[in-house]
A = this chain, B = another copy of it.
Amino acid sequence: MNLKGQNILSAKQFDKKSLLELFGKTVEMEKFLNKGRFLKSASGKILATLFFEPSTRTRFSFESAMLRLGGKVISNADMMKTSSSTKKESLCDTGKVVSQMADLIVMRSAEVDAVAKVSEKSDCPVINAGDGVDEHPTQALLDLYTVWKYRKSLDGMTFGMVGDLKNGRVPHSQAYLLRNFDVKFVLVSPAGLKMPREIVKELLDLGVEVKESEDLFLEIKKMDVVAMTRVQRERFESEEEYMKYDGSYVLDKNMMKRVKSDALILHPLPRVNEISVEVDSDPRAKYFEQVKNGVALRMALIDAVLKG
């Protein structure tokens, strides 16, 4: 699959071959990153970031990637407050207009499908940097890259996802990517925050083994990857419902004793208290390294979209 000129809207777009190609390219980008040199690969190109939902981490990651590739950046960190969206311009028009001034758009929105709408009339490729509870494909890409980097393969693993799998866009994108590999899923979440039925059904239809559970203590022992996400209090129907789970999805030193010795702990960050600070120094904790991998992965992705 040639990514040149393609929109990157969903993790569904990637097949195994394109993922492995992207990961190989990311390895190359990491080498340049570590040398601390700017490339010239994106020279002449301008990236526009349109963040309708602010996010320093993701915006910085894309901007850092583009700048390191030798491209340049025009940036709107808070579209809701500082743009024509307040003048009621349609998202289609916004995409059409910004694409006259840029060669690539990276967009985040709190609304499902908003990124797709911007891409509709855009004359340049659009990358989804998170669209509501829908997807966050590049986060899932860097998650899997981090695993692949250590394991050299994704096949044969048991991939655990923990937390709010209903509203978490990262687990959704992870699931779509992982369909390409021979993995088992262990999905641990409160009863009301389970992975959407259609995603689970798709996996089952493909013959994938999926275990759903509410019990992290029990299931964590099986996981080769523990992909954590936040469980937000406001997602629960009642305070009693929340209290039932309070603390049970917290990864602390005690819980880490139950985790496989060669497992990898992932988290898209920011974390609040779902991973204790005491875990940070554990060699299995990869969530800060993921941030750095994310710059390299996005360099590879941008390069592929701009140049093929």
Copies, count: 3
A82 CA to B49 CA in the complex, in Å?
14
A246-275 interface code vs B (CB 8 A; 1 in, 0 out): 000000000000000000000001111000
Q: Nearest Cβ in chain B — how far from A72, in angstroms?
A: 4
A221 is an interface residue with CB less than 8 A from chain B? no
Q: A93-B269, A93-B271, A271-B93 are in contact. Are A74 and B63 (CB under 8 A)?
A: yes
Q: Nearest Cβ in chain B — how far from A119, in angstroms?
A: 15
Q: A76-B56, A84-B55 are in contact. Are A38 and B48 (CB under 8 A)?
A: no
Q: Looking across the interface, which residue of chain B has its beta carbon closest to that of A70?
A: B38
Do B89 and A272 touch (CB < 8 A)? yes
A103 CA to B54 CA in the complex, in Å?
22
Q: List A41-97 residues whose CB lies under 8 Å from chain B.
A: 43-46, 48, 50-51, 54-57, 59-61, 63-64, 67-68, 72-79, 81-84, 86-90, 92-93, 96-97
Residue from B56, B67, B98 in contact with A79 in the complex, judged by beta carbons closer than 8 Å:
B56
The 9 A-B pairs of least Cβ separation, nearest first, read: A89-B270, A54-B82, A100-B291, A56-B83, A84-B270, A100-B292, A67-B72, A36-B44, A64-B101
Q: Which residues of A pack against B, CB within 8 Å?
A: 35-38, 43-46, 48, 50-51, 54-57, 59-61, 63-64, 67-68, 72-79, 81-84, 86-90, 92-93, 96-98, 100-103, 269-272, 277, 288-289, 291-292, 294-295
